[in-house]
Amino acid sequence: MQACIFKSLRAFAASFLRQRAPVQQGRLIAALLASLLFIAPASAGTIVRVSTSLGDYSIELFDETAPLTVANFLGYVQRDDYNGTYLHRVVDNFVVQGGAYRFKLFEGPIDIPVGPAVVNEFGASNTRGTVAMAKIDGDPDSATNQWFVNLIDNSANLDTNNGGFTVFGSVLGDGMQVLDAIDALPFVSLGAKAPNAPYFTEFYDNPSSFVYMNVEVTERFSSAPHIYESGTGLLITSVNVDGGAELISLNLSAVASELGFVVEANLESIIPRQAAFDGMASYDSATQLLTIPSLEVNLSGSISEITNVVFRLIDSQSSRFLLESYDQ
């Protein structure tokens, strides 16, 4: 039996650059087009989806009112710098903060690449559910990679302190339920790179018990647990591996192939999920089949749902899966 590609989660050793390719045009796309349900309305700002160990939420970015800050943030997202990072600072009834560190086997927490600081663009108020950049005390123009979500209305403090903290987005839908669940976890303090990190047990014993996240640009806001977008070639899913041996979230990207519709797992995006949920995808290492019960498909703004989606692992070295079947 071939080793399951998802074992990389336990080792925290997989770190591959994602390579996306245009989605193949052909019978699959034609079939999906036939099952279109409606045309999705355009969003006012760029949408990013944050997948965490406790669930997913989406953020609408303020492209027009904080353009420099949004461009800075998207630079990290598009380089996959935030994928596989953990939340290192949560202050109860204040903020949930991340965007700085990954955990690497035998090395511990490591810094993600840090770009130049961005000019402060304070405008919108730091109310509950808004997303803002962290920065150095006494330096309004020092924001780089770290960002936070306001858990309460922090305007009285953060709007006036240090030139005001630049709000560049807001959490959509019921996404704050995920942030509130993270805030309810116990914290561990492990030094500068985990000063107040949310943790799934009272005491530190395993790095997999941190709260990890991935951040990806999506074409629209969706609360569906499994989504695929033709424009980006991105498939976001959460998987129950071998009947509960591992629970993970990960992203896959469409790649050009003569075999048919093929996606490649982005191994650096594999993060632990704390609990299974109804409708979670499954992977069986014996049959090498990845099954997604219901997949929301976005074909250039046209939304459909396909069910019983089955992919087969065809290349364990590159972590590629071939679409075998689905129901409309």
Res. 36: pLDDT tops 50? no
Res. 89: pLDDT tops 50? yes
Contact 292, 298 (CB under 8 A): no
- Please say whether the dihedral angle defined by the alpha carbons of residues 87, 91, 97 and 102, taken in this order, is positive or negative: negative
Last residue of a domain, one of 192, 215, 238: 215
Same domain, 30 and 108: no
Identity (one letter) of the amino acid at 279? G
| Mean pLDDT value of segment 39-44 | 50
Which residues of 83-205 form beta strands (DSSP E)?
Answer: 85-86, 89-91, 95-98, 101-104, 108-111, 130-133, 147-150, 167-171, 187-188, 197-198
**Residue 106 pLDDT:** 76
Mean pLDDT computed over every residue of the chain: 89
Unique residue bearing structure tokens 């569906």 = 224
Query: By percentage, how much of the chain surpasses pLDDT 90?
Result: 79
**Residue 18 pLDDT:** 32
Res. 26: pLDDT tops 90? no
| Mean pLDDT value of segment 226-254 | 97
Q: In which domain, by residue range, is 73 found?
A: 61-215
**Which DSSP letter does residue 7 get?**
G
| Mean pLDDT value of segment 284-309 | 96
In this prediction, residue 99 has a pLDDT band, given cuts at 50, 70 and 90, of very high
Same domain, 124 and 90: yes
**Residue 308 pLDDT:** 98
Q: Which CATH number belongs to the domain containing residue 88 in this structure?
A: 2.40.100.10
Nearest to 271 by CA among 127, 62, 103, 139: 103
- 33-47, 52-66, 206-220: which has the minimum mean pLDDT? 33-47
In this prediction, residue 203 has a pLDDT band, given cuts at 50, 70 and 90, of confident
C-alpha 162, offset from chain centre = 29
Same domain, 89 and 184: yes
- Note whether residue 66 is domain-resident: yes
| Mean pLDDT value of segment 116-133 | 98
Same domain, 68 and 193: yes
Nearest to 264 by CA among 70, 2, 5: 5
- Note whether residue 317 is domain-resident: yes
In this prediction, residue 218 has a pLDDT band, given cuts at 50, 70 and 90, of very high
**Residue 32 pLDDT:** 44
Tally of structural domains, the chain: 2
Res. 1: pLDDT tops 50? no
Last residue of a domain, one of 184, 215, 246: 215
- Note whether residue 112 is domain-resident: yes
Same domain, 232 and 286: yes
Same domain, 162 and 247: no
| Mean pLDDT value of segment 215-237 | 96
Res. 10: pLDDT tops 60? no
pLDDT, tens digit, for every residue of 129-152?
Answer: 999 999 999 999 999 999 999 999
Same domain, 245 and 146: no
Report how far residue 155's alpha carbon sits from residue 78's, in angstroms, rounded to the nearest whole number: 30
Same domain, 28 and 92: no
**Residue 7 pLDDT:** 52
Same domain, 118 and 242: no
Res. 75: pLDDT tops 50? yes
Same domain, 120 and 183: yes
- Decide which of 309 and 2 is more confident: 309
| Mean pLDDT value of segment 61-69 | 98
- Note whether residue 47 is domain-resident: no
pLDDT, tens digit, for every residue of 241-287?
Answer: 999 999 999 999 999 999 999 999 999 999 999 999 999 999 999 99
- Note whether residue 6 is domain-resident: yes
**Residue 33 pLDDT:** 40
pLDDT, tens digit, for every residue of 186-198?
Answer: 999 888 899 999 9
Burial 75-104 (b: 16+ CB within 10 A, else e): ebbeebbbbbbbbbbbeeebbbbbbbbbbe
| Mean pLDDT value of segment 67-95 | 97
Judge if pTM exceeds 0.85: yes
- Note whether residue 180 is domain-resident: yes
- Note whether residue 75 is domain-resident: yes
Res. 30: pLDDT tops 70? no
**Residue 23 pLDDT:** 36
Last residue of a domain, one of 172, 196, 215: 215
- Note whether residue 52 is domain-resident: no
Query: Residue 137, exposed/middle/buried by CB under 10 A (0-12, 13-18, 19+)?
Result: exposed
Identity (one letter) of the amino acid at 122? F
| Mean pLDDT value of segment 49-64 | 98
**Residue 165 pLDDT:** 98
Same domain, 251 and 211: no
Same domain, 257 and 298: yes
